[in-house]
Structure 1
Amino acid sequence: MTSITRNLPWFVKDLGISVVGQKCYVSLIENLDFNDFVCIKYSISKGLGVGIVVGGSIMKVPQLILILSAQSARGLSLPAYILETLSYAITLAYSYRNEFPFSTYGENLFLTIQNAIITLLIMFYQSPRQLTSTQSPAPRIASAVLAMVLAACAFIALPVSALAPLQIATLPLSLFSKLPQIRQNHRSQSTGQLSAFAVIAQIGGCLARLFTTATEVGDLLISAGFALALVLNCVLGAQMWMYWGMDEKEELGKAPLTIPPNEKEKIQWRAVSPQVEVIVPPQSPRTPTGRKWARKVD
C-alpha cells in the first residue's frame, strides 16, 4: 500500500502538503502511520478549518434570501448585527495581522461581508413605523457604508500592538451583539426572519473553532471569544426551538382591525352624542277622513 501512496500524482501531493504540512503528509499518507496522534489531531483540525471557511462563505446566504424574498427584516435586531459585524471584523484583522493560518480565521472574512450586507438590508427594510413620512433610508445607508469603509481602513492602519485590546473588546461585543436579538425574540415570542440554518451553523462553527484554535493557534483571546459566542448562539438556538411556528400567531394578534367608513362615522357620532334609538312600529295608513283601513284577507 505504501508503494501506491508514495507515488501519488504531484498535484495530489502538493495539495496534501499545503493542507497538513510536509511532516504530517509523509507520516500519514506516505508511511500510513496511524499511530502518529499529533499529526492526526493536526490533520483533523486542518480539515475542520477548511470546512468552516467554506461553510462560512455561505453561512448567511439563507438569511439574505429570507430577507429579500419577504421584502422585510422583521424580527432582526439592527444593533445586534452592527455589533456582530464589528466583532467579526476585529477578529479578522487581529488574526491576519498576527499571521495566523487562514484556515483558522478565514470564515470571518466572508461573515464580515455578509453581515455588512444584512445590516444594510435591515436599514433599507426598516419598519415604516420607525420612520416618519419625510425620512428616507438612503442617507442612513450611505452613512453606514462610509463608516464601514473608515473602519476597514483603521484596522489596516493600526499597529499590531493596538489590535490586542480590540480583540479583548470582542468579548463584550459578542455579548452585546446577541443580547438585543435574544431580547427581541423574547418580547415578540417569535424569531421573525431569523434563519435557523445560520443559527445552527454558527453553533457548529463555534464548536469546531474551539478545537482548531486550541490545536493550531493556542490564543486564549480567540478561544474565549468563540466560547462566549457558543453560549449565546445556543441561547438563540433554544429560542428557535421554543418559538418555532409562532410567527403566524404573532401576526394574527397584531393584525389591524379594519372598520368601514360608514361604520366609523356612526361610532364617532355615538361617541360624541350618545342617544337612545327608539324603534317605532309601522302603523296602518289612514284614509283622508281619518279612519283606518285594512285589507280583507280571504
Structure 2
Amino acid sequence: MTSITRNLPWFIKDLGVSIVGDKCYVSLVENLNIEDVECLKYSLSKGLGLGIVVGGAVMKVPQLLLILNAKSARGLSLPAYVLETLSYAITLAYSARNHFPFSTYGENLFLTIQNVLITLLIVYYAPPTQQQHRGLTTPTPRPTGLLVAMVAIVLVNAFALSVVPASVLALLQLSTVPMSLFSKVPQIAQNHRARSTGQLSAVAVLAQIGGCAARLFTTAQEVGDPVVSAGFALALLLNVVLGVQMWVYWGTDSAVPSARDLVQDKVYEKDLGRGEKVDIVVPPQSPAATQTAHQVQPASYGRKWARKVD
C-alpha cells in the first residue's frame, strides 16, 4: 500500500503538503503511520479549519435571504449586529497582521462582509418612527442618508484597523471578549421580551454553534492564543443560549400590527391622555350578519320610494 501512497501524482502531494505540512504528509500519507497522534490532531485541526472557512462563506446567507424574502428585519437587534461585525473585523485584522494560518481565521473575512450587509438591511427595513403623521397610503421613505453614513463608517473602521499600531490592535482583540458578550445580549433580551425570534435564522444560529466549537479546537492546536480562545468560548456559550431560544420559541410568532392599527393606537392613547371621550365603533362580526340585516328589510322599499318621488 505504501508503494501507491509514495507515488501519488505531484498535484495531490503538493496539495497535501500545503495543508498538513511535509512532515505530517510523509508520516500519515506516504508511511501510513496512523499512530502519529500529533500529526493526526494537526491534520484534523487543518481539516476542520478549512471546513469552517468554507462554511463561513455561506453561514449568514440564509439570514440574508430570510430578510430579503420577508422585506423585514423584525426581531433582529441592530446594536447586536453592529458589535458582532466589529468583533469579527478586529479578529480578522489581528489574525492577519500576526500572520496566523488562514485556516484559523479565514471565516472572519466572509462573516464580516455578510454581517455588514445584514446590518445595512436592518437599517433599510427599520420601521419609521413618524409613521403616524403620514397618510396610510403614503409610501414609507427609506433612510438613504443613514445608509450612506453606515457605509462610510464601515470604510473608516476598515482603514483604521489596517494602520493602527500592533499594541493597540492587541488591546482591541482583548476587547472582543466583552464585545462578544454585549453583541449577543441585546438579541437574547429582545427574543425574551417578544417571546419570538422574529426573522432570526435557525440555520445561521446552528452553524455558529458548530463553528465556535470547532474553532476552540483549531485555535488550541494551531495558535494557542488564550485571548482568541476565550473569545470563541464565550461566543459558543451565547450562541447556545440563542439556540435554546430558537427551540423554546419555535412556532410562536408575535403578530405584527398594521400601519392603520399603529395610527389608531396613537390617536386613542392621545385622546385618553387629554381625558376626551372616545367613540368606539364595532364593525360587523361577519359577512353573514350583514347579509341577515339586509334580508330583514322588505325588498319593496326601494320601489315604493321611487313611486313617491315620481
TM > 0.5 fold call: yes
**Residues 3-50 of structure 1: CA deviation (Å, up to 9, x unaligned):** 000000111001000000000000000000001000000000000000
Secondary structure at 2:255 match in 1: helix
Tell me the percent identity.
Answer: 67
Query: In structure 1, which of residues 194, 197, 200 is the aligned counterpart of residue 206 of structure 2?
Result: 200
Partner of 2:18: 18
- Counterparts of 1:60-75 in structure 2, within 5 Å, are 60-75=60-75
Matched, 1:234 2:234: no
Paired residue for 1:189?
195
Q: CA deviation at 1:211?
A: 0.2
Shift of 1:203: 0.4
Match of 1:251 in 2: 255
**Equivalent in 202, 215, 227 of residue 209 of structure 1:** 215
- CA separation in 1, counterparts of 2:277 and 2:123? 41
Letter in 1 for 2:72: S
- Structure 2 Cα separation of the partners of residues 119 and 180 of structure 1: 14
Q: Post-superposition shift, 1:129?
A: 3.7
- Indicate whether 1:158 and 2:164 are aligned: yes
Question: What is the rounded CA distance, in whole Å, between the counterparts of 2:209 and 2:278 in structure 1?
Answer: 59
Q: Bigger shift: 69-78 or 160-169?
A: 160-169
Could you report, residue by residue, the CA deviation over 1:68-94 in whole angstroms, capped at 9, with x for unpaired residues? 000000000000000000000000000
Deviation at 1:161, TM superposition (A): 1.9
Mapped to 2, the partners of 1:52 and 1:236 lie a distance apart of: 20
Indicate the residue corresponding to 1:8 in structure 2: 8
Per-residue CA deviation, residues 126-167 of structure 1 (Å, 9 max, x unaligned), is 012477769741111101000000000001111222211000
User: TM-score of the superposition, structure 1-length normalised?
Assistant: 0.84
Cα 1:272/1:164, change in 2 over 3 Å: closer
| CA–CA distance in structure 2, aligned partners of residues 96 and 27 of structure 1 | 29
List runs of 5+ in structure 1 lacking aligned partners.
259-263, 265-269, 274-298
Rg larger in 1 or in 2?
1
Q: Which residue of 1 aligns with 2:152?
A: 146
Q: The residue matched to 1:74 in structure 2 has which SS?
A: coil
- Alpha-carbon distance in 2 for matches of 1:130, 1:147: 25
Aligned to 1:58: 58
CA distance in 2, matches of 1:5, 1:130: 70
TM-score, length of structure 2 as denominator length? 0.80
CA 1:10 to 1:234, structure 2 compared with 1: closer, same or farther past 3 Å?
same
Report the residue type matching 1:83 in the other structure.
L
> Deviations along 1:257-289, whole A, 9 cap, x unmatched?
69xxxxx9xxxxx9479xxxxxxxxxxxxxxxx
Classify the secondary structure of the residue corresponding to 2:69: helix
Number of aligned residue pairs: 262
Helix, strand or coil for the counterpart of 2:8?
A: coil
Structure 2, unmatched stretches of 5+, are 135-139, 263-267, 269-275, 280-310
